[in-house]
Structure 1
Amino acid sequence: MHRFKDLDIWKLSRKFCSQIYITTANFPDNEKFGLTNQLRRASVSVPSNIAEGCSRSSNKDFSRFLEIAIGSIYEIETQLLIASDLGYISQVKVDELIYDLDKITKMISKFRSTLQI
Structure 2
Amino acid sequence: MDFEKLLVWQRSKNLAVEMYLAFADCRDFGFRSQITRAAVSVPSNIAEGMERRGRREKAWFLSVAKASCAELRTQLIIAGEIGYLPTELANDWISETRELSRMLAGLINKISN
**By the TM > 0.5 criterion, same fold?**
yes
Structure 1 runs of 4+ with >2 Å offset: none
TM-score (norm 2): 0.92
Q: Which runs of 5+ in 1 are unaligned?
A: none
Q: Structure 1, residues 30-82: CA drift from partner, whole Å, max 9, x if none?
A: x12x1111010111100000010012111111000010001101111111122
User: For residue 6 of structure 2, what is the aligned residue in structure 1?
Assistant: 7
Q: Which runs of 5+ in 2 are unaligned?
A: none
Aligned-CA RMSD value? 1.3
User: For residue 25 of structure 1, what is the aligned residue in structure 2?
Assistant: 24
Q: Which amino acid aligns with 1:104?
A: L
Equivalenced residue count is 113
Structure with the bigger RCO (C-alpha within 8 Å, sep 6+) is 1
Alignment of 1:18-97 (within 5 A): 18-27=17-26, 29=27, 31-32=28-29, 34-97=30-93
TM-score (norm 1): 0.89
Q: Which of 104, 108, 112 is the equivalent residue of 1:112?
A: 108
**By how many angstroms is 1:85 displaced?**
2.2
Q: Which amino acid aligns with 1:71?
A: A
